[in-house]
């Protein structure tokens, strides 16, 4: 079996930031591997170590900066990587799920994986849509928000548990090939070893443009437009206790006594 | 193309609250567009569900009877067919684990744009959707000029419609392609059981990612010891298996309503907040003054938990 893992580098806002129109300047952002995707990589690499999967290919849509993230996936055990980027993609204001779906569909067509993993959502734009949309596009089965996966390749079935709300899980069987969107907590993602990091430098990381994938810029068409970006107004009337730790702790302690949750 | 179609959600025979919330959101949109509000209910006891969904403002309820419960392949096909047949301007689907399992497929099958996790919807010649980004620190507005769009709607953002309606009920004969059903739901399992029931606690101290290391949990356990608080946690702590799933507060864990909830090193992601926002009083300790937890806290300490918590323990002792 061949596994394709779609990963994203995500931006995290620092404590201080400024919004400039519809964007945030890069200097206020920190970049890292999307948390959900870390679990998706672990799931694929674990299957590879168990010889259920023969090859793990990671794919990302991202600028050169994101190679750090994708090298991390290689260091954790993925076999090779594809990074998709060109000027047309760079010029898009906001990469909508439908664009990612069309681009990733062409990668699936070229790579012909038996199973595709992706995180449930990305931490920054939180669409939570690409995996299931991709499955529909490429005519794969799918399962979203998966917290347990048991593959039976001989039967062509993936048995999954999907996390619902309120501590309930749905038990589902889905035919392969399939796209599985991975929820955090499904496994314990490893740290890359020094040996893994060294090996990752030797692994193939192919950079591809839309043209290389046989796509044209129409895959970036969207009827959606980002029109506003702002800090939400808070209606809260939070009382902030200021001061040194012993002072704020004293305030909190007397609050707890006043509310009688602790004895005075 | 001025109607709104809402898809109801039910699980194990019960309609979920989000269904009635979507009726409220859908009616507002339908009014703004001067169109009708359609509600779809798929599978299960559709007649009894339809009766319950007959709330104020609903024009037509469409029932699709093709099985006992949720199946994403059936839902995808049925909603796609309904949207083709009714040509609504907007299709509203719950932003839940269930909705996320078919809404993107519906949008893709219809070749519609999809906007997820809406917290506000406006219509004035074009549809605009407000949603959160960057772990709830920012909001964005997405506009769509398409003739049809699929939107998933965050639970508990709109009040449920309670009063009775007088909707027409229509049994929709969906032509489900059996060969395209590649998934089977075989059952349900409870994940949060275990040693403790945090939902009954009066005083909760809850710990999040800010604790950094498993061994640092000792500090919070000591605080619980000296104050008599019940220990709870946000998702990352339970994902890491540092504490049992039974102690997880939030969307996929427990809902809690203590007299006092002290959130330590918890940023306040929406999934967590949904499980503790009904606490009587909320105190947050976090070193990031922009953390969303401060938006719902009554009292806050902006500071290093590794300094504040030991000082608090000393103070109480």
Polymer length of chain A: 264
Residues B30 and B167 in one domain: yes
In this prediction, what percent of chain A has a pLDDT beyond 90?
A: 89
Residues B137 and B88 in one domain: yes
Residues B174 and B218 in one domain: no
Residues B247 and B141 in one domain: no
Chain B touched by A193 (CB under 8 Å) = no
Instruction: Please give the average per-residue pLDDT across B43-70, as a whole number.
Output: 97
Residues B134 and B240 in one domain: no
Domains defined along chain A, listed by start: 2-220 (3.40.50.620)
Q: In this structure, is residue B187 part of a structural domain? A: no
pLDDT grade, residue B209 (50/70/90)?
A: very high
Q: In this structure, is residue B186 part of a structural domain? A: no
Report the number of distinct structural domains present in chain B: 2
Indicate the average pLDDT of chain A. Answer: 95
Q: Which of B11, B133, B190, B286 to mutate to test the interface with A (most CBs of A within 10 A)?
A: B133
Interface of A with B in 90-119 (CB under 8 A): 96-98, 101
Name the domain boundary from B180, B214, B235.
B180
What residues contact residue A21 under an 8 Å CB cut-off, 6+ apart?
A229
Instruction: Please give the average per-residue pLDDT across A244-251, as a whole number.
Output: 95
Q: What is the pLDDT of residue A233?
A: 80
pLDDT grade, residue A264 (50/70/90)?
A: low
Residues B228 and B175 in one domain: no
Size of interface A-B (CB pairs under 8 A): 268
Q: Could you give the ipTM of this predicted complex?
A: 0.94
Contacts of B236 in chain A (CB under 8 A): 184
Residues B45 and B149 in one domain: yes
Token representation of residue B213: 């290391």
Name the domain boundary from B180, B208, B243.
B180
**Domain hosting residue B308, numbered range:** 198-316
The burial class, CB within 10 Å (0-12 / 13-18 / 19+), for A25 is: exposed
More confident residue, B194 or A184: A184
CA B146 to chain centre: 26
Is the Cβ pair A236, B137 closer than 8 Å?
Answer: no
Residues B159 and B56 in one domain: yes
Alpha helices by DSSP H, listed for chain B, are 17-33, 46-53, 72-86, 103-110, 217-227, 235-239, 270-276, 293-296, 305-316
Helices B305-316, B217-227: crossing angle, 10 deg rounding: 30
Interface of A with B in 224-263 (CB under 8 A): 224-232, 234-241, 245-246, 248-253, 255-256, 259, 261-262
Name the domain boundary from B149, B180, B211.
B180
Residues B122 and B262 in one domain: no
More confident residue, B289 or B55: B55
| Contact assessment for residue B114 and residue A129, using Cβ atoms and an 8 Å cutoff | yes
Establish how many alpha carbons lie within 13 A of residue B229's alpha carbon, considering only the half-sphere containing its beta carbon. 28
Q: What is the pLDDT of residue B194?
A: 64
- Cα A180 from Cα B290, distance rounded (Å): 34
Helices B72-86, B103-110: crossing angle, 10 deg rounding: 40
Q: What is the pLDDT of residue A93?
A: 84
Chain A touched by B177 (CB under 8 Å) = no
Q: Residue B1 pLDDT > 80, yes or no?
A: no
| Contact assessment for residue B4 and residue B29, using Cβ atoms and an 8 Å cutoff | yes
Question: Kind and range of the H or E element at B64?
Answer: strand B60-64
Polymer length of chain B: 317
């Amino acid at each position: 079996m061949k596994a394709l893992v779609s990963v994203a580098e995500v931006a995290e806002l620092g404590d201080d930031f400024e919004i400039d129109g519809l964007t945030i300047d890069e200097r206020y952002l920190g970049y890292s591997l999307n948390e959900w995707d870390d679990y998706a990589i672990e799931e694929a690499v674990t299957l590879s170590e168990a010889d259920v999967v023969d090859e793990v290919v990671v794919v990302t849509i991202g600028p050169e900066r994101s190679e750090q993230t994708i090298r991390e996936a290689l260091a954790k055990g993925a076999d090779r990587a594809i990074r998709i980027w060109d000027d047309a993609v760079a010029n898009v204001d906001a990469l909508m799920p439908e664009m990612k779906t069309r681009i990733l569909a062409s990668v699936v067509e070229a790579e012909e994986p038996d199973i595709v993993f992706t995180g449930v959502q990305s931490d920054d734009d939180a669409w939570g849509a690409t995996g299931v949309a991709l499955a529909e596009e490429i005519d794969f089965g799918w399962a979203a928000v998966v917290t347990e996966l048991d593959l039976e390749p001989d039967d062509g079935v993936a048995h999954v548990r999907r996390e619902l709300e309120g501590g309930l899980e749905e038990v589902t069987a889905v035919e392969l090939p399939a796209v599985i969107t991975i929820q955090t907590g499904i496994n314990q993602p490893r740290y890359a070893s020094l040996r893994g990091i060294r090996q990752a430098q030797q692994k193939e990381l192919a950079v591809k443009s839309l043209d290389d994938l046989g796509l044209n810029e129409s895959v970036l068409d969207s009827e959606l437009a980002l029109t506003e970006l702002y800090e939400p107004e808070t209606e809260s009337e939070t009382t902030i206790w200021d001061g040194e730790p012993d002072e704020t702790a004293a305030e909190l302690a007397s609050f707890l006594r006043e509310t009688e949750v602790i004895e005075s | 193309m001025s109607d709104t179609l809402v898809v109801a959600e039910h699980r194990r025979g019960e309609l979920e609250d989000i269904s009635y919330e979507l009726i409220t959101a859908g009616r507002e949109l339908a009014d703004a567009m001067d169109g009708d509000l359609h509600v779809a209910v798929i599978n299960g006891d559709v007649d009894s569900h339809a009766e319950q969904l007959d709330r104020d403002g609903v024009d037509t309820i469409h029932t699709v009877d093709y099985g006992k419960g949720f199946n994403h392949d059936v839902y995808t096909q049925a909603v796609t067919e309904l949207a083709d047949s009714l040509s609504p301007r907007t299709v509203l689907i719950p932003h839940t684990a269930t909705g996320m399992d078919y809404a993107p497929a519906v949008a893709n099958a219809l070749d519609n744009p999809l906007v997820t996790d809406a917290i506000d919807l406006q219509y004035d010649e074009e549809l605009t959707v407000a949603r959160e980004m960057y772990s709830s620190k920012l909001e964005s507005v997405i506009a769509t000029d398409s003739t049809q769009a699929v939107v998933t709607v965050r639970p508990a953002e709109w009040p449920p419609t309670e009063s009775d309606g007088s909707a027409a009920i229509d049994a929709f004969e969906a032509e489900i392609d059996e060969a395209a059903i590649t998934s089977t739901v075989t059952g349900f399992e409870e994940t949060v059981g275990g040693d403790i029931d945090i939902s009954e606690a009066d005083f909760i101290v809850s710990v999040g990612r800010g604790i950094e290391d498993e061994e640092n949990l000792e500090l919070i356990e000591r605080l619980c010891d000296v104050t008599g608080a019940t220990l709870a946690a946000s998702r990352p702590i339970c994902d890491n298996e540092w504490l049992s799933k039974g102690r997880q507060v939030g969307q996929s864990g427990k809902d809690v309503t203590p007299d006092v909830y002290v959130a330590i090193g918890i940023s306040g992601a929406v999934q967590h907040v949904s499980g503790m926002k009904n606490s009587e009083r909320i105190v947050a300790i976090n070193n990031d003054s922009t953390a969303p937890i401060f938006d719902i806290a009554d009292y806050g300490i902006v500071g290093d938990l590794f300094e504040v918590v030991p000082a608090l323990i000393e103070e109480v002792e």
